[in-house]
Structure formats: structure tokens, C-alpha cells
DNA sequence: AGCAGAAATTGACGACCATCAAGAAAAAAG
DNA sequence: CTTTTTTCTTGATGGTCGTCAATTTCTGCT
């Protein structure tokens, strides 16, 4: 048997197992044939999790032409926004092969949240943290110079761990990605900052001045 | 008398007035003298809203030196993270002048959310939408070329309104900021895309091909 | 330890873009 | 309608950064 479907959704998988079980109980596992329609704008809103198989999302434009917006394969999901507030006004979901697909119904989920307020509070807390992290990243990425982005990142991180001497939690490659640059440029910027006397570095260990 | 304090917090001010009133009832308005400590790590967690005056946030580093992290003036607030989950472990809030400061206590707020599940659901819905918007923006900003960022933005927007012919909701200046570039570069990119035949533009009206 | 594969660095080069400044076009004000 | 102000465009220039390729350093594995 498959894992818990809710495990596949990042928003859920950090929840206490207890809460996850409660959500899992709401999930409708269903099998769909290839080309079968899973959802359309007239359906009630659902979170769609592809437990096994594949699906595609598409909209119809003003001329009635299909416009594929997303492809889902095993383990992917869509419709977080339909689960939380937004109505699905123009999107169709269709199985691209014989698939096992899990649906989590908005109304049932709302009912659960009303019955167990801790659940929505948990989700909210998690989300707020995420928003703050994303906000920081946007501010970083908005800085035109990589040098500034790096320094800002390091200072923020130093503040976070409340130390001026620390070990980077990311590899260069990932830090580069996070800062919207390349490992090469990042490397150069490190030596630049070191030359400027802003920091001292040995591998991934940083001393910030 | 002042406006509702909760109005100042973006997370709250889109809520139905009804919900806002309930939150407002929890708010403790208090007056602080210059240099008086509003919060420290031993206090229970609060959202801090400066209704009138000023305050500063600081942490103490390993040597006991103060490290100012944020300055609040009238209308600013801090501690969204303390209200929602994260504990305040090292931050002090101090009034920088005689101030009227509103505190929203975490425990009281939690109690309200448990009593009125709709409130946290509302907040959650709002947050999810925000996360999605921010996620899009991060993806955009991660594209190295302004040209790609612009095109991606336009395509996403077209998909959103489900039309290939639309009027931009932002002025050039703001769009430039959103895309992490300057109005000048943005302008050039528009003519470039137009030359390529990717779009046609007249002022802020776009036809996408 | 020693080897293999990955990760990080360095150099050279060219494209891209921010900046400054000036001009044109549109919007707002009178 | 005219004037004023704001917004947008265009040009020239220099710095920044991404790309490709080669080398060095690090890490995991047996």
C-alpha cells in the first residue's frame, strides 16, 4: 500500500503525525482511466494528489483551445489554492494514464479545521514562518549586486544564530542558487569580501567582522 | 482616539471588520516612557504595534553588546513571528521616546483562534495566497535575464486573466521594481520583445503572441 | 591510504545591465 | 488649452556577472 498521500504535500508533512492521520482519513483514493476527467470547474474544490500515474492541468482559452498549465507525475500534487480559499474557475484536471489519485475535499477539510482549531493554527504557524523566509529571499534577490546579496545573507544568518562565527548550512552550489547566482561568481565574491577584510573564511566556516 | 491598531498589520487588515473587532478587543494599549523596556525574552510573546512614538529592537550578542535589529516608528509593528509559533529567545524591545504601544498577547490570541476557528482559517487562506504570489516572484527573480523575467511575468499574467490581450496593472516603475530591474532596462526589453514579434504594445496595453 | 567522483576555484571573455544624463511623451494641474 | 510635473524612452559607458574550460581541492568509498 502507498504511503500517506498527505505526506507528499509539504504544507502537511511537517505536521504532527496525529494531525496528518486526521487529514489522511478525509482523503478519497480513487482510480482513474487514461483520459478520464478528474476535476473541472463545476466540481467542488479539491486538492489533487497523484499517488501513482500522471495527470495534466489545462484551461480553456476564449477560443475553446486547451492550454496545458501543469503536468503531474507520481508524487506531484496541485490545488493547494483551491483547498484554501480560491475557487477553481477555469482549470480541468485529466488523467494522462491509468492512475491512482487522491482527492482532499475543501469542504470536508474546512469542517475538520473547524472541529480541530489546532490544525489550522499549526498550518498557519508554519505558513507564517515560510512567508518570512520567502520575504527575506525576495529582498535578497532584489539587490542588484551579488556581493550585496551575499553579505546581506551572511549578516542575516549571523543575526539568526546570534554569532559572528559560524558554519554555512548550505553548500556553495545551493547557496548560489538561493542567491540567484552561480557557484563561480559566489566563489569570487567570497575572496573579494575576504580581501576587503569583511570576513575570514576556511571552507564553509565563516568569521564575520 | 487612534484607529484600530490591528489595521496597521497587513495580515489582519484584510480580514472582515467583524474579525478585526474581535482581535482589537484583545489588544492592550499601554504607554511607555522613553527608554522603558516593552518586551524581553522572559516576557510572554506579543505582537508589538507602535500606535504613537518609537521603539527599537535589539539583541545581546555573546559579549553582552547591544545589537539593534529594527527600528519602529509610529504605525510600525514587530513580532508577527512571536505571535505565530516562534519563541522570542533573544530580542528586547525598548521605547525610544514616550510612546503608546499596543500589545497583542500570543496566548490570548491563540485562545481566540481556538474559540473562533474561522479566524485562523481566514488567516490561513490569506497566507496561502501570499505564499503563492511570493513563490512566483522568487521564481521570476531567479531568472538571470531581465528579458526572461519580463516574458515569464507577462505569460503568467496572461494565464491569470486568461487573455492574451490585456492592460498591465502596474506602472513601468513598479513593474521594474517587481522584476528586480530598472525602468530603463525594462523599457528596452519591451522594444526588444516587440522587435522579436513576441508581443505588441501600446502604452500599457499588451498583445501577447 | 588511495582512488574516483563531486565540489569548489580560477582565468578569460563577452553579453548583459545599472547608471547617468538628456530628451520625448503622457498625465495632471491650472 | 497651456503649463507643469510625472512617467517613459533613448543613448553612451563602464562595471558586473554568466559561461565555458581547465585545475585544484574535498569527500566518500573500498
pLDDT digits (tens, 9 = 90+) for B39-49: 999 988 999 99
Q: What angle do CA A119, A125, A128 make, to 5 degrees?
A: 140
Percent of chain A having pLDDT more than 70?
A: 97
Contact A138 B142 (CB under 8 A): no
Distance of CA B175 to the CA centre of its chain: 18
Q: Residue B155 falls within a domain, yes or no? A: yes
Q: Give yes or no for a contact between B48 and B38, defined as CB atoms under 8 angstroms apart.
A: yes
Contact B117 A118 (CB under 8 A): no
Domain boundary among A79, A99, A117: A117
Chain B closest-CA separation from residue A42 CA (Å): 18
Q: Residue A131 falls within a domain, yes or no? A: no
Q: Give yes or no for a contact between B22 and B119, defined as CB atoms under 8 angstroms apart.
A: yes
Q: Is the CB of A182 within 7 Å of strand D?
A: yes
Percent of chain B having pLDDT more than 90?
A: 50
Distance of CA B70 to the CA centre of its chain: 15
* Full domain range(s) for residue B113: 5-117
pLDDT band with cut points at 50, 70 and 90 for residue B127: confident
DSSP chain B: ----GGGGSHHHHTS-HHHHHHHHHH-EEEEE-TT-EEE-TTSPPEEEEEEESEEEEEEE-TTS-EEEEEEEETT-EE-HHHHTT----SEEEEESSSEEEEEEEHHHHHHHHHH-HHHHHHHHHHHHHHHHHHHHHHHHHHSS-HHHHHHHHHHHHHHHHT-SEEE-SS-HHHHHHHTTS-HHHHHHHHHHHHHHTSEEEETTEEEE-
Residues A12 and A113 in one domain: yes
Residues B96 and B166 in one domain: no
Give A82 CA → D4 C1' in Å: 49
Burial annotation B25-60 (CB, 10 A radius, 16+ → b, else e): ebbeeeebeeebebbeeeeebbbbbbbebbbbbbbe
Residues A171 and A87 in one domain: no
Chain A closest-CA separation from residue B142 CA (Å): 5
Q: Give yes or no for a contact between A58 and A17, defined as CB atoms under 8 angstroms apart.
A: no
Q: Which residues of A touch B (CB under 8 A)?
A: 59, 61-62, 67, 69, 80-81, 84-86, 90, 110, 113-115, 117-118, 120-121, 123-132, 134-135, 137-138, 141-142, 144, 159, 162-164, 177, 180
Q: Which residues of B touch A (CB under 8 A)?
A: 59, 61-62, 67, 69, 80-81, 84-86, 90, 110, 113-115, 117-118, 120-121, 123-132, 134-135, 137-138, 141-142, 144, 159, 162-164, 177, 180
pLDDT at residue A175, as a whole number: 93
Contact A120 B125 (CB under 8 A): no
Mean pLDDT of A113-139: 89
pLDDT band with cut points at 50, 70 and 90 for residue B188: very high
pLDDT at residue B70, as a whole number: 84
The count of structural domains within chain B is 2
Q: A152 or B85: whose pLDDT is higher?
A: A152
pLDDT at residue A198, as a whole number: 92
Question: A–B: how many Cβ contacts below 8 A?
Answer: 110
Residue closest to sugar C1' of C9 by CA: A187
Whether the pLDDT of residue B97 is over 50: the answer is: yes
Chain A environment of B62 (Cβ under 8 Å):
162-163
Q: Residue A152 falls within a domain, yes or no? A: yes
Beta bridge partners of A78: A48
Chain A environment of B111 (Cβ under 8 Å):
none
pLDDT at residue A62, as a whole number: 67
Mean pLDDT rounded to a whole number for chain B:
89
Quick: pLDDT tens for A179-206: 999 999 999 999 999 999 999 998 789 9
- CATH code, domain with A64: 2.60.120.10
Residues B72 and B147 in one domain: no
Whether the pLDDT of residue B175 is over 90: the answer is: yes
Q: How far apart are CA A90 and CA A107, in angstroms?
A: 19
Q: From the alpha carbon of A148, which nucleotide's C1' atom is closest? A: D16
Residue A134 burial class via C-beta count within 10 angstroms: exposed 0-12, middle 13-18, buried 19 and up:
middle
pLDDT at residue A3, as a whole number: 61
Quick: pLDDT tens for B50-68: 998 999 998 886 667 787 7
Look at chain B and count its residues. 209
Q: How far apart are CA B156 and CA B158, in angstroms?
A: 5
Residues B11 and B108 in one domain: yes
pLDDT at residue B62, as a whole number: 66
Residues B162 and B81 in one domain: no
Q: Residue B100 falls within a domain, yes or no? A: yes
Q: What angle do CA B136, A54, A101 make, to 5 degrees?
A: 95
pLDDT at residue A1, as a whole number: 43
pLDDT band with cut points at 50, 70 and 90 for residue A2: very low
- CATH code, domain with B166: 1.10.10.10
Beta bridge partners of A50: A101
Least confident of B1-5, B21-25, B154-158, B203-207: B1-5
Residues B10 and B101 in one domain: yes
Q: Give yes or no for a contact between A128 and B127, defined as CB atoms under 8 angstroms apart.
A: yes
Q: Residue A123 falls within a domain, yes or no? A: no
Phi then psi dihedrals of residue B101, to 5 deg: -125, 135
Residue among B120, B164, B177 whose CB faces A124 most closely: B120
Quick: pLDDT tens for A10-48: 888 888 888 888 899 999 999 999 999 999 999 889 999
Amino acid at each position: 500500500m502507498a504511503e500517506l498521500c498527505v505526506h507528499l504535500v509539504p504544507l502537511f508533512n511537517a505536521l504532527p503525525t496525529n494531525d496528518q492521520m486526521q487529514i489522511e482519513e478525509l482523503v478519497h483514493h480513487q482510480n482513474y482511466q487514461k483520459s478520464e476527467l478528474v476535476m473541472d470547474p463545476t466540481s467542488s474544490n479539491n486538492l489533487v494528489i497523484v499517488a501513482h500515474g500522471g495527470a495534466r492541468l489545462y484551461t480553456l482559452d476564449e477560443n475553446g483551445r486547451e492550454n496545458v498549465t501543469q503536468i503531474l507525475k507520481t508524487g506531484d500534487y496541485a490545488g493547494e489554492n483551491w483547498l484554501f480559499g480560491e475557487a477553481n474557475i477555469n482549470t480541468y484536471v485529466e488523467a494522462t494514464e491509468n492512475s491512482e489519485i487522491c482527492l482532499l475535499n475543501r469542504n470536508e477539510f474546512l469542517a475538520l479545521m473547524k472541529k480541530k482549531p489546532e490544525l489550522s493554527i499549526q498550518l498557519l504557524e508554519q505558513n507564517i514562518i515560510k512567508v518570512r523566509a520567502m520575504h527575506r529571499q525576495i529582498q535578497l534577490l532584489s539587490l542588484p549586486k551579488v556581493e550585496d546579496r551575499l553579505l546581506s545573507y551572511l549578516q542575516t544568518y549571523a543575526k539568526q544564530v546570534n554569532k559572528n562565527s559560524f558554519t554555512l548550512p548550505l553548500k556553495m552550489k545551493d547557496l548560489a542558487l538561493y542567491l540567484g547566482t552561480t557557484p563561480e561568481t559566489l566563489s569570487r565574491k567570497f575572496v573579494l569580501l575576504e580581501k576587503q577584510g569583511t570576513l575570514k573564511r576556511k571552507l564553509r566556516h565563516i568569521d564575520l567582522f
